[in-house]
Amino acid sequence: MSAYDNVQTGGLKLKGVSDHTIKKKKKKDKKKKKKEEEAALKQEITNKSGESSQTYSVSKKTKAELAYEKAMEKRRAEEILEIAGKTHKERIMGFNRQLDNLTEHFDIPKVSWTK
């Protein structure tokens, strides 16, 4: 009787698993998927060309959303005009004024407009 007579042979068995076969995942067919997408696009194009005389756009935004976007565009335009109206020297001087108003905790040296 050798020391290896009591060794368990065969595959490992997991507790609580009745079916111990390994199932491989199937690969997705990329070519088939592309063909389906192309067919769907062609169908959409034909549908749109047939209904082009009857199509009209419906805005799904509320009045408040439209007013908000209009106000934001107006603010952006004003900011752009304000920034574009200043020279580099004026911007640096304004930045230095802002730094002067801060406490010493945030103190950094002034920026030169000549560099």
- Taking the C-alpha atoms of residue 61 and residue 43, their distance in angstroms, rounded to an integer, is 29
Q: What is the mean pLDDT of the chain?
A: 81
Q: Enter the pTM of the model.
A: 0.34
By the 8 A CB rule, do 79 and 98 touch?
no
Model confidence at 112: pLDDT above 80:
no
What is the per-residue pLDDT across 73-93, written as a single tens digit (0 to 9) for each?
999 999 999 888 888 899 899
pLDDT digits (tens, 9 = 90+) for 38-64: 888 888 888 777 655 555 667 788 999
The full set of domain ranges for the chain reads 61-102
99 Cβ partners below 8 Å, 6+ apart?
106, 107, 108, 110, 111
What's residue 74's pLDDT?
Answer: 97
